[in-house]
Amino acid sequence: MSGRFITFEGIEGVGKSTQLEVARGYLQQRGIDVAVTREPGGTPLAEKIRALLLDAGHTAMAPDAELLLMFAARAQHLAEKILPTLAAGRWVLCDRFTDATYAYQGGGRGIGAERVAAVEQLVQGALRPDATILLDAPPQVGLARARARGAGADRFESEQLRFFERVRDAYLQRATAHAGRFTVIDATAELAEVSRQVTGVLDRLLTEQ
């Protein structure tokens, strides 16, 4: 049996990494073999592309170069990790995937969904996540949480609030357009409540097994 592919999405600081760990623990307790990974990145080559993408010194990166680097990293990640892991019957929990490209490059950078869809088709064919959890919060909330950690801002984190508002709008449009795959969770809620809703999504997937 092939595994399930679950992605976690949302703007910066909404709690994706936190909830990925909650999901990992919950599934492992139920005997599910889980692999946790992230985008851009997840393999040595894709992590090198990630470093190029996040480097705040690359101020002149063209939007199409950013789009293609995201998908170059994704192509490697799919070939080397995601597809073999699913084929081995393991579940993959991924911190961001192509919905992030629709949101950040399509919405935030203004490239538009059609250009993103063209490259998605080239790189992924029909592959889509089985379920996507969108942690939704106003950008002010996510940015405040992320900045409280005190690390320096990368190339995306250096963007203005308006950029993150466009990203959030694009995510919510994706969730409406693909309502069967997405679950939108209010990420401003208490941690325990967000976790309860995340594990509810996992329970649904487990009963479909």
Contact footprint for ligand Z5A (CB under 6 A): 10, 12-18, 39-40, 70, 95-96, 100-101, 104-105, 145-146, 149, 156-157, 187, 191, 194
The nearer residue to ligand Z5A, 3 or 15, going by C-beta atoms, is: 15
Q: How many CB atoms lie within 10 A of CB 180?
A: 5
**Ramachandran category for residue 41: left, alpha or beta (phi over 0 → left; psi -120 to 50 → alpha):** left
Question: Which amino acid, one-letter code, is at 81?
Answer: K
The residue behind tokens 């329970």 is 203
CB of 31 to ligand Z5A, least distance (A): 25
CB of 95 to ligand Z5A, least distance (A): 5
Helix (H, G, I), strand (E, B) or coil at 8: strand
Measure the CA–CA gap between 156 and 163, rounded to whole angstroms. 9
CA angle in degrees (0–180, nearest 5) for 207-172-77: 65
CB of 182 to ligand Z5A, least distance (A): 16
The nearer residue to ligand Z5A, 27 or 134, going by C-beta atoms, is: 134
- C-alpha distances out from residue 35 to 28, 42, 86, Å: 10, 11, 9
The nearer residue to ligand Z5A, 101 or 132, going by C-beta atoms, is: 101
CB of 130 to ligand Z5A, least distance (A): 18
CB of 120 to ligand Z5A, least distance (A): 10
Alpha helices in 82-190 (DSSP H): 83-87, 98-101, 113-124, 139-148, 161-177
The nearer residue to ligand Z5A, 88 or 161, going by C-beta atoms, is: 161
The nearer residue to ligand Z5A, 89 or 110, going by C-beta atoms, is: 110
